[in-house]
Structure 1
Amino acid sequence: MKKLLFTLFSLLIFTVVLNSCWTPRQDDDFVPIPNNYTPVIISRTELENSVEALPPQNVIQSGKIYIKDNFMFINEVNKGFHVYNYSNPQDPVKIGFIKIPGATDLAIRNNIIYINQAVDLVTLTYNQTNNSISVSNRNRNVFPTKVSPQGFEANVNENMIVIGWTPLN
């Protein structure tokens, strides 16, 4: 019985000591963090009509890299994917650019390309012969809305989509 009382008393003292270390801040001590980014917003219609195959582009801000068979895809963050012929890894050759605003990642299975486009999951088929693509499916609102690098959300209308964030300078 003495051990139980000693344990409970020790736990009480321990709780009081720890609680005194974690005092909540007063409201007047609160300093709001400013949002140093502004959202890049386009309409749902513009988002859905923005996917296209373009000639090769220069890489400006690279993201993830994906290699499938003789192809290498390099993400241009929130802009699309650079497509390379990767049959010779020592000398990859640019063959095109898939413009898909808001995209940051892709996966390929059975020669079907799956890309996140902001909040949507887009399924593409790619014709390497003439460097063309076609959207074969679009699942709307699969992913959460993009937040700023500081964790802020944009307040946008229902038919508007955040495809990225740019720093305020």
Structure 2
Amino acid sequence: MKKFFLLLTVTSTLLFQACIGWGSDDADDIDPFPTGSYEPVIMQRSDFEASTILENTPRTIENSGKIYVKDNFIFVNEVNQGFHLINNTDPTNPINIGFIKVLGSSDLSIKEDVLYANNATDLIAFKIDEATETLTITKRLENVFPQIWSPEGVIYYPIEDNEVIVDWELIN
């Protein structure tokens, strides 16, 4: 029994010592919120909410995401940037006619004439008036979604209440 108690005491002591960083001065060098090779693109909430617009100038598709079809239109997601608006009246000749800027977007759903998209952490509902070529946000639900993740995975980055992460950029 004495041998068992001695073995248990020695083992416990060694395990306890392994958990302690003896003499390490590296604690000051540790980043409590590591971001790896990417840094967040942060906007003030007021600027972020005003950034959703319909641009009448088409953009080149560079980093496409999901594709949606509604009536004679095709919507192609540009990851974290918005949606390319393509006129598909003539399926043999689709025409890129504009861009719907929705920062932090990756998904879209359409019901009747209302479009729903994630706008970084928010869920927005909006309509497009083809006659006036304008976009109107009809509803915004704030902080429905979590922060946009870094391309390297789930990294929480501390931000102020009036800030929103809209994308992540590669650090050179």
TM-score range, shorter chain: 0.7 to 0.9
Which secondary structure state, in structure 2, belongs to the residue aligned with residue 138 of structure 1? strand
Whole-angstrom CA distance in 2 between matches of 1:132 and 1:69: 18
2:44 pairs with 1:49 = no
The superposition leaves residues 98-155 of structure 1 with CA deviations (integer Å, 9 ceiling, x where unpaired) of: 1111111110001100010000001110112332211111010111111212221211
AA of the residue aligned to 1:121: L
Which residue is 1:132 aligned to? Answer: 134
RMSD: 1.9
AA of the residue aligned to 2:139: N
Whole-angstrom CA distance in 1 between matches of 2:49 and 2:81: 14
2:156 pairs with 1:153 = yes
Whole-angstrom CA distance in 1 between matches of 2:91 and 2:143: 36
The superposition leaves residues 46-95 of structure 1 with CA deviations (integer Å, 9 ceiling, x where unpaired) of: 11110111121111211111111111001111111110111222211112
Which residue is 1:162 aligned to? Answer: 165
Whole-angstrom CA distance in 2 between matches of 1:75 and 1:141: 21
Query: What is the TM-score of this pair, normalised by structure 2?
Result: 0.76
Whether the 8 Å CA contact 1:96–1:131 is kept in 2: the answer is no
CA, structure 1 residues 34+141, in 2 after alignment: closer, same or farther (shift >3 Å)?
closer
AA of the residue aligned to 1:69: D
AA of the residue aligned to 1:108: I
AA of the residue aligned to 1:160: E
Whole-angstrom CA distance in 2 between matches of 1:126 and 1:37: 34
Whole-angstrom CA distance in 2 between matches of 1:87 and 1:44: 37
Which residue is 1:62 aligned to? Answer: 64
Which residue is 1:3 aligned to? Answer: none
Number of residue pairs matched by the alignment: 141
Whole-angstrom CA distance in 2 between matches of 1:99 and 1:47: 11
State the percentage of identical aligned residues: 37
Which secondary structure state, in structure 2, belongs to the residue aligned with residue 153 of structure 1? coil
Whole-angstrom CA distance in 2 between matches of 1:131 and 1:153: 38
Which secondary structure state, in structure 1, belongs to the residue aligned with residue 127 of structure 2? strand
Whole-angstrom CA distance in 2 between matches of 1:53 and 1:166: 24
5+ residue gaps, structure 1 = 1-25
CA, structure 1 residues 51+34, in 2 after alignment: closer, same or farther (shift >3 Å)?
closer
Query: What is the TM-score of this pair, normalised by structure 1?
Result: 0.77
Whole-angstrom CA distance in 2 between matches of 1:34 and 1:132: 38
2:95 pairs with 1:80 = no
